[in-house]
Amino acid sequence: MFEKTPLAPLDPILGLSTSYQQDTRSDKVNLGVGVYKNEQGITPVLDVVKKAESILLKEEVSKSYLPIAGLSRYTDLVTNLLLGQDHAVIKAQRVGTIQVPGGTGGLRVAADFLFHVLGAKRIWISRPTWANHLAIFKTVGFDIVEYDYYDKASHQLDFAKMKSQLQQAQSGDILLLHTCCHNPTGADLSLEQWSELVDLCRAQQVTPLFDTAYLGFHQGIEQDAQVLRMCAEKLPEMLIVNSFSKNFSLYNERIGTLSVITESADHLEAALSQMKRMARVLYSNPPAHGALIVAQILSDSALCDMWHAELKMMRERIASMRHLLVQALANNKAGIDFSFIEHQRGMFSFSGLSVEQVTRLRDEFGIYMTDSGRMSVAGISQSNVKYLADAINQVL
Ligand SMILES: Cc1ncc(COP(=O)(O)O)c(C=O)c1O
């Protein structure tokens, strides 16, 4: 039977890394996958993670299975981190969290739960978005409706268009939202716009699913979490998928959470039980190491301070690379004002380059980014920024 299997296309993001590895040019640049790199092009283990691991090495006594919902110490700490420990939904016992294998695992469990248990059939997803969003919800069986999110000409969020299209959403629909540092555009809603969106969700009876993969990459954990806290206060129900891949640099530990907020505390146990049922058939129970690391750090104020400082350092290096790139592109031959790159948030720059320009950068210069023109800014360094800007200038 396998002779009939068609070859799957390369993943639009991870496939780029494979092509990059095979490229033998010494000046190649990888701006594809959203992974933080330091000035030397390395994705380092955070010092705070090393510290936590050294404690775990001494104290860990078992590698037995975790429960389906993961490590409860970890999930409690993460709920407090996301919502703030005094949040009304925590006090009212309206929020529950399970540990999941990364943001991807959380999205898949959420999708199965919404589709198979709650009978949701339609999800609204921003255009553009992270490519895997479309693949995950399509695989589960959802009808996907894309809402316009971004105005390419002005390099800005198009909130008016987004809102007017979302007015077509119907009761029972799901709305996928990026909590902060929208991937790929780096354009986020203001708190006032979030508040308008909350009103829209209530009016249309739409349930939002917040995908939170870059918390702390705009202004810091507390500031970036404001959106979740405000929405959780005003909305009766919502879901939050959270990933620690980027902000703890724990990519290969596959560590994240899925939280559900129910209108009444009475509905919580059933919702969590069904989420666990979905997780059981997907991966049975989550891996422990990442959860132990994060729990170790979040429960120790000195380690927590260290984490915030390292996250700040990553955020600031990315911001300084944005600045250098804008400077290096200042006198480009097409006279394009690239200053918008400095206003984008998070790991990516949505450059506005066309597929043809992206292809030329890859073929002629060994510079890899997604076809959408999204660059992972952390792949830029003092040593390659001039090469990158010169190459972009040549393909403009
Ligand atoms: C918007 C968004 N959501 C979710 C994820 C998945 O994160 P993880 O690697 O933890 O599965 C990513 C990763 O790039 C992302 O960009």
- Residue 194: C-alpha distances to residues 188, 224, 293, 341 (Å): 9, 13, 32, 23
**Residue range 202-226, pLDDT digits in tens:** 999 999 999 999 999 999 999 999 9
Question: Nearest 5°: CA angle at 95, between 89 and 96?
Answer: 160
- Which is the closest atom of ligand 1 to the Cα of 33? 14
DSSP letters, 365-388, are H-EE--TT-EEEGGG--TTTHHHH
Q: Is 34 in the pocket of ligand 1 (CB under 6 A)?
A: yes
Q: Is 101 in the pocket of ligand 1 (CB under 6 A)?
A: no
Q: Is 256 in the pocket of ligand 1 (CB under 6 A)?
A: yes
Kindly state the average pLDDT of the residues 301-329. 97
**Residue 247 pLDDT more than 90?**
yes
Q: Is 186 in the pocket of ligand 1 (CB under 6 A)?
A: no
Q: Is 103 in the pocket of ligand 1 (CB under 6 A)?
A: yes
Q: Is 130 in the pocket of ligand 1 (CB under 6 A)?
A: yes
**Residue 10 pLDDT more than 90?**
no
**Residue 77 pLDDT more than 90?**
yes
DSSP 115: I
CA distance 165 to 146: 9
Q: How far, in Å, from the CA of 213 to the mean position of ligand 1? A: 5
- Per-residue confidence at 250, pLDDT binned at 50, 70, 90? very high
Do residues 347 and 317 make contact, with C-beta atoms less than 8 angstroms apart?
A: no
Kindly state the average pLDDT of the residues 45-73. 97
CATH match of 2-45+303-395 with 3.90.1150.10: yes
CB atoms within 10 A of CB 177: 21
Question: Poorest-confidence range of 13-27, 92-106, 127-141, 175-189?
Answer: 13-27
For domain 60-300, give the fold.
Aspartate Aminotransferase; domain 2 (3.40.640)
Out of 109, 245, 250, mutate this one to test ligand 1's pocket (max ligand atoms within 8 Å of CB): namely 245
Catalytic residue list: 130, 211, 246
CA distance 95 to 219: 25
Q: How far, in Å, from the CA of 251 to the mean position of ligand 1? A: 9
Q: Provide the token pair at 209.
A: 């699913």
Angle between helices 102-112 and 131-140 (to 10 degrees): 30
- Residue 74 is predicted with a pLDDT of 98
- Per-residue confidence at 282, pLDDT binned at 50, 70, 90? very high
CA distance 264 to 69: 21
Average pLDDT across the chain, whole number: 97
CA distance 200 to 159: 13
Residue whose CA is at the smallest distance from ligand 1 atom 15: 213
Do residues 39 and 59 make contact, with C-beta atoms less than 8 angstroms apart?
A: no
- Helix (H) or strand (E) holding 358, with range, is helix 355-365
Burial of 74 (0-12, 13-18, 19+ CB in 10 A): buried
**Residue 9 pLDDT more than 90?**
no
- Which is the closest atom of ligand 1 to the Cα of 130? 1
Out of 217, 243, 248, 255, mutate this one to test ligand 1's pocket (max ligand atoms within 8 Å of CB): namely 243
**Residue 17 pLDDT more than 90?**
no
Every domain of the chain and the residues it spans: 2-45+303-395, 60-300
3-class secondary structure, 161:
helix
- Residue 6 is predicted with a pLDDT of 94
CA distance 96 to 260: 5
Residue whose CA is at the smallest distance from ligand 1 atom 2: 213
Q: Provide the token pair at 130.
A: 């992270």
Q: How far, in Å, from the CA of 133 to the mean position of ligand 1? A: 9
**Residue 14 pLDDT more than 90?**
no
**Residue 33 pLDDT more than 90?**
no
**Residue 133 pLDDT more than 90?**
yes
**Residue range 357-366, pLDDT digits in tens:** 999 999 999 9
Phi, psi (rounded to 5 degrees) for 323: -65, -45
Residue 239, C-beta contacts closer than 8 angstroms, at least 6 positions apart: 110, 114, 207, 208, 209, 210, 258, 259, 260, 261
- Per-residue confidence at 16, pLDDT binned at 50, 70, 90? confident
Q: Is 365 in the pocket of ligand 1 (CB under 6 A)?
A: no
The amino acid occupying position 362 is: R
- Residue 13 is predicted with a pLDDT of 80
Give the residue with greater pLDDT, 214 vs 34: 214
**Residue 27 pLDDT more than 90?**
yes
- Helix (H) or strand (E) holding 105, with range, is helix 102-112
- Residue 330 is predicted with a pLDDT of 95
- Residue 160 is predicted with a pLDDT of 98
Q: How far, in Å, from the CA of 103 to the mean position of ligand 1? A: 5
Q: How far, in Å, from the CA of 59 to the mean position of ligand 1? A: 31
DSSP 7: P
